[in-house]
Structure 1
Amino acid sequence: MDYVDLSKRSLYYSLASIVFNPTAWNIVARNEYRNKTITKILGGNARNGCYFLAASIFLAGMLRDSLFHKAIAEQPHVQILPEPLNVIIPAVLVGLGQLFVVTSTWQLGITGTFLGDYFGILMDHRVEGFPFNVLRDPMYVGSTMSFVGASLWYESPAGLMISLYVYTAYIIALRFEGPFTDMIYSKREAKKGL
């Protein structure tokens, strides 16, 4: 704890944004599934509703990343890895992490990435190509890898602590998101069987 300054507000803003994002998008998406609130506000067009949510999630993610970088900038720094690993390992983690995030988005498309299934925009089949053939949740893993890589790059023990918090927030979000998404597709299959 000598390397984490608990007096900095930026640390708490970062932690709050990290937990806010998956909590908010799960609440909003479940409401959309049940009540079609966003779809109704946007004139009954589910696709426009999904795009609106996608833009909101993307912007909230940018804010989260900005708050994270501000937080680690204001925290103590200490050499964590020896040279040249202090450059190589962070670069590999961020590179692989972003590869997982970008290729996931490419495979799923905008509506598959940003909770289109909650809007009734269902995929025809489960995506099984890269990166889903190597990871069950490549976006969450890739995002976490990027946080860890950035923390190591900036030599921030507080950043590593925040990264663990990110991973924990994603694990909790998946416990709600995964089964609900599975239920949506199970209902579709049950309707096909009738």
Structure 2
Amino acid sequence: MSISSTTAKMSSKLLSQLESSIDLSKTSLLLSLASIVFNPTAWNIVARNEYSNKTITRLFGGNAKYGCYFLAVLIFLFGVLRDHLYQQALLEQPKISILPEQYATIVPVALFVLGQIFVMTSTYALGITGTFLGDYFGILMDHRVEGFPFNVLRDPMYVGSTMCFAATALWYERPAGLIITAYVYVVYIIALRFEGPFTDMIYSRRAEKAKAN
């Protein structure tokens, strides 16, 4: 048997497995994917506009902290909606055993708990304004946070969130959820490519102004 025919058979088998594990016809799946990409995209656009035009700050009479808190509430609520849509999407996808029975509970629970630890400790370390794009409102941190979990991961909040997506997929035994988790990871990587350099620019400008003064 030639290499090309073997490769074709393997590809055909893989496609068949994917087709049996994910139902692309479900509207809930499309809504979940849309919400996953909407959130980081929307908040990056809103935050950049805030940095340039102070739109939200002006809505709160020039109080940047209130404006940041308002955005934090929006981000939190849309995050809850995203998680709900993800759960609904999973429930309408094919259920297939993923892990051996003895690990089917402990692995997703451990993964979810660890992911939540990364998310919650990141929020605690950064504070509300540090977590929810306060930099774009002109609310800058005095120094870089280097304690846990930032001494373990560069982007612990995004990593922790991705781990929770994977844990949920394993808990409900939906292989489609693992595919969505990979999609989440790619979306986060793209978002960080825009968010990271812009945040670095904000702090660089502050450092330049401090030197000038």
TM superposition score normalised by structure 1:
0.99
Q: Please tell me the residue identity of whatever aligns with 2:153.
A: L
Shift in Å, 1:4: 0.3
Shift in Å, 1:89: 1.1
Structure 1 outlier segments of 4+, above 3 Å? none
Deviations 1:97-150, CA, capped at 9 Å, x for gaps: 000000000000000000000000000000001000000000000000000011
Aligned with 2:61: secondary structure?
coil
Unaligned runs of 5+ in 1: none
| Among 81, 95, 115, the residue aligned to 1:63 | 81
| Among 32, 44, 55, the residue aligned to 1:37 | 55
| Among 1, 12, 17, the residue aligned to 2:35 | 17
Tell me the equivalent position of 1:146. Answer: 164
Tell me the equivalent position of 2:183. Answer: 165
| Among 157, 179, 194, the residue aligned to 2:197 | 179
Q: Which has the higher contact order (CA 8 A, sep 6+)?
A: 1
Q: Please tell me the residue identity of whatever aligns with 1:98.
A: Q
CA distance in 1, matches of 2:60, 2:181: 36
Question: Matches of residues 37-186 of structure 1 in structure 2 within 5 Å?
Answer: 37-186=55-204
Unaligned runs of 5+ in 2: 1-17
Q: Please tell me the residue identity of whatever aligns with 1:104.
A: S
Tell me the equivalent position of 1:26. Answer: 44
Aligned with 1:84: secondary structure?
helix
**CA-atom RMSD, angstroms?**
0.5
CA distance in 1, matches of 2:103, 2:148: 27
Deviations 1:26-68, CA, capped at 9 Å, x for gaps: 0000000000000011111000000000000000000000000
Shift in Å, 1:83: 1.8
Please identify, of 95-104 and 79-88, the stretch whose mean Cα deviation from structure 2 is larger: 79-88
CA distance in 1, matches of 2:102, 2:206: 52
CA distance in 2, matches of 1:41, 1:153: 43
Aligned pairs, number: 194
CA distance in 2, matches of 1:92, 1:141: 15
